[in-house]
Every structure is written in C-alpha cells, then in structure tokens.
Amino acid sequence: MTRYLILGFLLLPPPTLIAGFPSSGSAPARAGDTLITGRDGWAWPTEAGRVVTSTFGEYRREHFHAGIDISSGDMTGYKVYAADDGYVARISISATGYGKMLQVHHPDGYTTVYAHLQKFAPAIDARASAEQQTRERYPVDIDCTPSEFPVHQGEVIAFSGSTGTGSPHLHFEVRDEQTNPLNPFLWPPLRVVDTIAPTITKIAASPLRYDATVDGRHEPRVYVARSAGRNRFRISAPIVLAGPAGLAVAVRDRIPGSRFRNGVYTNTLAIDGHVCYSVRLDRTPGRRAHEIALYYDRFLLSEGRGRFEKLYMNTPNDLPFYSPHTPLAGTITESQFAQGPHAFSITCSDFNGNSAEISGTFIISRPPAFSATRLGDDVQVRLFEPADVRRGVISTRRFTSGWSDQTWTPRGKEMPATLSFPSGDADVMKIRFENLRGISSNPLIISTSLAVGPPAGLAATCEPEGDNVCVRVISDGVITSPRVTVVEGERQFAVVTTAEDESRHVGWFHPDVSVRGYRRVAVTGFVNGRPAGADAGFDLSPIAPGTKGTLELDGGRLRVAYDSLSLLTPLFLWLRKSEQPEGTVYTLGPEDVVLGDGITITLQGGPDTLHRALFYREGGRWELIGGLKGDPSSGRITRTLGDVALLTDDTPPSLSRLSIGGTSGRKPRITFRFSDDLSGVEYNEVKVYIDNHAVVPDIDGEHHRAVYQTVDPLGRGSHQLTIRLKDRMGNSTTVERRFVLR
C-alpha cells in the first residue's frame, strides 16, 4: 500500500480565530464565530452524575463524536435539565441514531442537544405523542416555535434513556449557529474533574509518495511505545525516511470514574524543538462530518493495526482544528529537513491539561544514486554521492545458473566516485548500493553478454493508485533494458522503471486529467537475453474538483454525475465489473478516496421490477441508496467509493417472538422482533392496530424489537391485533392475532 502526497491544494481563506477555535469550513459560521464561549452561566444537564464516558471529537466510523456522553450507570429515568434559558426548537424521535432527542435554542445563538432520551417532559411528550398518533408512525421530527415550549435553566425537559443506539446514557451537545458541534468543555460549568494523563500506545510513519519509503519499505510502519518514565514514552530505534512521510499517533485517555477509553483534546508534533503541527478539538464540522476519514489513518484502521490520528495533512480539507491549516502541513520532506537525524516529540493532552509525550528520532536518508555503463568486458559505475555510500553488492549470473554475490567496500575512508567491475563470463549483472544509514538502492540489472537463456514470458499490469498509475513489468526470467511507452489520447510518452528484483520492474506516471477513456501501455525489452514485449491497457476517467459533468461508463450502463462540490481532490476514477452471487457488481475506485459532497450514480441493466434498486457497499453490508428523485436505479455516494449494484429484494420482512402480556389486566403489553434480509425495515411503516385502531409502538432499531404498552384500558373480552411491516423496497408482512382480556 502506498500513500500519495497531493500537490494541488485548494486555496483556503485564513482561519478566523474566535474564542480559541478557527472558523469551520464545512459550513462557514460567520455569524456563529461572533458568539462568545467560556460563559460561566450554563448548568450541568442531568442529575445522573458527572462521569463522562465519551469526550468530544472522538472517532466514529462516519463522523466525529459531536458531544459528550454522560454515564447514567446503566440506568434510565434520570432528570435531564435545560443547560440555559431558551426554547425547545426541535423534537425528534427515531428508531436508530439519537433515538428520542431534543434541541434547545438559546438567546446567545447556541443550541444544546439532548439525545437517547427515555421520554420527554409531560407537555413535550404529549406534543410528540400526538404527532406520532396523527402520522401513525414512531419516527417524527417536529420543529417548534419559540413560544411553544419556552424553558428556563435547570428546568426538567426530559428523562435519560437508551433509545436509538447505545446503552443507557445522556448524549449532550453544543452547536453553533451553523450546526457545527462545539466542545462542551469550552463552558466551565460543563467540565469535569480529570487527573489522568493520556496513554500513548503506538505511532506510525507512512510514506506519502509512490517512491517514498519508511525503513526501506513502501508501506506504513507501526512502532510500539516504550515507557520512559511517568507519562513519557519513547521509540527506541531511529525511523529512516526516504521521500515525504507523515507521522500518526495512537493515543487514548480516561476520565476518573469511567472504564471507557476516550479521545484526547490536543496533539502537537515538534521536530528539532520546533512545533510544526498541532490539533485542538474545539469544533468539528456539522456538514461533511465524514471527513473524519481524512484525520484518522483509514488504511491502518482497515488493516486492524490501530486507530491512528494523523499529524499531517496530505489531502485538502476544511477540518477546522489544524494549525497551521496550510498545504502539506505536518508532512516531513527533504525540502524542510536536511539529510541526517532529527529529534521529534508528540505531545497528547486532555482538556484539563494532563499530557503524555512520546519522543524519538527519524533520519532523512535517500538511497544511493548511481549509473552503470558497460565498457568492453567491464562495467563502470558512477556514484553521485560516494561519501554517503557504505558498501555495494554486485551479483553476477549466467542464464543457466544462479546468482553469485560479491560485496564491495571502500579501501579508504569513503567509496570512490567511479568503480569498475569485470563482468567475467556472466550474462547479467545486478548492482545495488547501501548508504551509511543502511538504506539500499533498487537493483540495477544490465546485460553483460550477447548470450540467451531459456525462453520466458513477459507481462505488464496497470493499476491506478491514488492520482498516479503504477505499471509493473513481470517475468519468470531475468528482465533487462525494459522500455515502457504509454499512449494517452494524442500524447505518447515513456515511463522510467526501476527494478524491484531481476524479474519485476515498476514505474509510475501521472495521468492527464483532460483525457478520459482507454490508455495503452506497451513494454519492450529482453528476458533472458531474448527480445520480448507485452501490452496492457485500462480505462480511467479523471474528474477535477470544482467542475460539473457526467461520465458514462460500461457503454452507458453506469453514469456518474458530479458538481463543483463533489470532490476534495482530483479523482482518477476507475471501474471494475464482476459477476457475483447477487448479480453484476461494479467496483468504483480508488477505494481510499474521501469525497466532498458526493457523486450521483445511475445504473441501468437487467429486468426492471418493482423490487429492484441501486445498492452500495463499502466493505460491509449492502445499503440501499436508490430512489433519488423517485428513480430506484439512481442514488448518491457521499463518503467513499465502493461497490454498486442493482439488486432485487422481493423478500418481505419477518416478524418473530410476538408476545402479548398482561392479559389478566386491561393494559396489555405487546412486544415483537423484526428483521429484513437486504433493504432493511422501513420504520415509518411499522404499523400496529388493536381492533382496527392505530397505536404507535416504541421501536428499537438497534436490537430490532418493538414494544407497545397500552395506555388507556381496553374492554374485557376478545380483541384483534394486527401488525404490518414493510421493508424499504415495499415488501410487506401482515400478522394477525386475537387475544382475550379477562
């Protein structure tokens, strides 16, 4: 896996620093930035206690944690208070996510959010219940006028619960006028006592360009933190960097009274004693919250190697908590740091100032550069920086035998600039050099005779990776003198390759953003001394940020529509088509791209049926996205690229474990479970009727269950229960049951 340094950054306005945090780019909060944080007048929002189990800005798969979680000790029913005067601006009830939720708007422009509630205060609860009954459904969203539910600081507005997602707790947020979440700890009354410093467990170093390496490898390296005293850690071995690289840290915090691990408030990277990059989580974006994928290292997370917070910015974004918020911020490049060792330290702190530090050394080191020329029976090598070379390894072989290695070390204090080696009876020679820091060059493989060996094949592959294309030349013999030519539109150009070993060569090129469609790659060279050639090709569809248009792929069966806000960086879109058990699947890549506002996908193919629609998959389950503007074959991808397919879901949802309790009284309790195999249950269409009168059950989407507790007593005798379920594709299930009240 290789990272890429994006050089074409968007021009961003300088951040406006107000009350300690920069202006948000996800939804510019010009008016909100004039508000004053740090007020002492707010109140703690619950009687449940002051144990915080999750802090602001922590990792969630698709967003930053937008508030704090306050423990209720796995109990429900604690009073929830308005943090300040204001009015209830929104009442929301959903089967997943925030569950039962209130938003309170305050005169100073802020909004507080209270989520996962068990129930609301009586007047608010009556309003919500009436709306549910009118709509005959559990999910509702109600906008309230300022005069409808005015509240005072400390007034009971709800009771804590576990609705939506998660175990019992109160989720509490503060948002600015543009709905961007703010760190509640910016308000002194909302802070908690914390005397525990964070713990740093690991750091990672990642190459950020195709030709960059970390410790000689073209992939991220992870280093375990070693204790170096109280709240101090160290990486013992130097990290050797060649080419641009970035550091990331795995760190967790804890608050007294909680067993949960939390995120930290600030991260700071200093190199040679100077701070070059810092993060402070005062605010996160409300819109484009999926840009969390730009802050955490997605590759290491997907590989199961840890949750690393990046200390560099290699993709343009509007995340509001970086300093400096400039192109290439935090990246380690040779233009900034000279070759040789450099000390680094990473300091991680919680909001109360408890901190931990990890330190170490990285070494900027280029692999030795050299050229080789065949002169008669000798091969002459020219070293470009001989003083930095420790030794050379010269390997020779005949096509009919194996390699014979010879190590070359200088006789004096340093390697001479020019070396000459006899080729003897060898057919090929492989040359590599190692510098003083142990970094080895790629081998150079040259032919030293006109002999030929056994026939062997030659193949070429092309793989788009990031904003470059990797061309690999592969054989089961010895490759010499490979030449790679790319035909791209009207342009034809050569690609320089380097040898990974005697049978694998690799080269890279940056595609022309103005050319869409097929690229042809032609390879010529020698394999075991015999002339050989290979062809490869691929389709590529570049899209530039800030542009608008539509791509038609696979003969027009797949359309991709985008606008000026769809992308953060240039996208070199590629497509793979495969037949899988569920049908024809289109894979859109590169998979690690993070979108801006997203792209619209329209897919045609197969029979048009009532229960067929567009689905999307990003490494997990299929997700229904079809239905954009009423078209089941069209939908939006808003986070990252992945698989899309037209899938048929004609299986109705299922209902199980139906129970009618309390039949000895007149207020029965009805419970049941539900499930669906593909598109998912449509919670608006979970309908329950008693004697043809609609009642609204509480729905727990996380655990796929519903509960209705009768409020008004029913008459004695026989009653008819009817339950109707629909999935998101319109398939329905009806279950009827009679019950008797004594």
User: Residue 597 maps to which CATH number?
Assistant: 2.60.220.30
399: left (phi over 0), alpha (psi -120 to 50) or beta: alpha
Instruction: Tell which residue, 115, 118, 15, has the closest CA to residue 65.
Output: 115
DSSP string, 54-100: E-TT-EETTEE--SEEEE-TT----EEE-SSSEEEEEEEE-SSTT-E
Domain final position from 385, 417, 447: 447
Query: Per residue in 172-215, pLDDT tens?
Result: 999 999 999 999 999 999 999 999 999 999 999 999 988 899 99
CATH number of the domain encompassing residue 174: 2.70.70.10
Q: Half-sphere exposure of residue 261, counting CA atoms within 13 Å on the CB side?
A: 9
Q: What is the pLDDT of residue 606?
A: 66
For residues 558 and 531, membership in a common domain is answered with no
d(CA 537, CA 518): 7
Q: Same domain, yes or no, for 151 and 48?
A: yes
The CA-atom distances, in angstroms, between 595 and each of 66, 80, 298, 524 are: 20, 38, 14, 38
Of 115, 121, 120, nearest to 72 by C-alpha is 115
| Side-chain half-sphere exposure of 619, counting CA atoms within 13 A | 12
Residue 569 shares a structural domain with residue 498: no
- In-domain check, residue 25: no
- 275 belongs to a structural domain: no
pLDDT of residue 138: 98
Global pTM reads 0.88
Terminal alpha carbon distance of the chain: 69
What phi, psi does 514 have (nearest 5°)?
-90, -10
Q: Is residue 618 part of a domain?
A: yes
Domain of residue 472, CATH code? 2.60.40.1930
CB 695 within 8 Å of CB 737: no
Domain termination residue (choose one: 190, 224, 255)? 190
The reply to whether 378 falls in a domain is: yes
Question: Phi and psi for 73 in degrees, rounded to 5?
Answer: 60, 35
Q: Are residues 620 and 664 in the same domain?
A: no
How many CA atoms are closer than 13 Å to the CA of 225, on its beta-carbon side? Answer: 25
Spatial separation of the C-alpha atoms in residues 648 and 581, rounded to whole Å: 12
Token representation of residue 630: 């009423």
482/560 same-domain check: no
C-alpha 376/C-alpha 387 separation (Å) is: 28
Tell me, yes or no, whether 81 lies in a domain: yes
Determine contact, residues 42/187, Cβ cutoff 8 Å: yes
Residue where a domain terminates, one of 598, 625, 648: 648
Quote the number of domains for the chain.
5
So what's the pLDDT on residue 607? 63
pLDDT of residue 10: 26
> What tens digit of pLDDT does each residue of 416-471 get?
999 999 988 999 999 999 998 888 899 999 999 999 999 999 999 998 887 789 99
Q: Which two tokens stand for residue 555?
A: 């003969």
**Residues in the chain where the model's pLDDT stays below 70:** 1-39, 606-608
Q: Following CA atoms 370, 376, 377, 381 in sequence, which dihedral angle do they give, to the nearest 10 degrees?
A: -10
Are 43 and 172 contained in the same domain?
yes
Same domain, 574 and 474: no
CB atoms within 10 A of CB 238: 16
506 and 526 belong to one structural domain = yes
Helix, strand, coil percent values for the chain (each to nearest 5): 5, 50, 45
Single out the residue of 538, 540, 539, 522 nearest to residue 459, CA to CA: 522
Is 687 within the bounds of a domain?
A: yes
User: 177 and 48, same structural domain?
Assistant: yes
User: Looking at residue 666, which CATH number applies to its domain?
Assistant: 2.60.40.1220
User: Could you tell me the residue range of the domain that residue 668 belongs to?
Assistant: 654-741
Q: In terms of C-beta distances under 8 Å and separation of at least 24 residues, what long-range contacts does 698-702 make, across chains too?
A: 698/138, 698/163, 699/95, 699/138, 699/139, 700/95, 700/163, 701/94, 701/95, 701/96, 701/164, 701/165, 702/96, 702/164, 702/165, 702/166
| Inside any domain, residue 637 | yes
Is position 222 within any domain? no
Task: Report CA-CA distances (Å) from 723 to 103, 228, 671.
Answer: 32, 63, 11
Q: The CATH number of the domain where 396 resides is what? A: 2.60.40.10
**113 and 60 in a common domain:** yes
Going 586 to 589 to 591 to 593, the CA torsion angle's sign is: negative
Between strands 654-661 and 698-700, the pairing is unpaired
Are 582 and 616 within one domain?
yes
> Are both 533 and 615 inside the same structural domain?
no
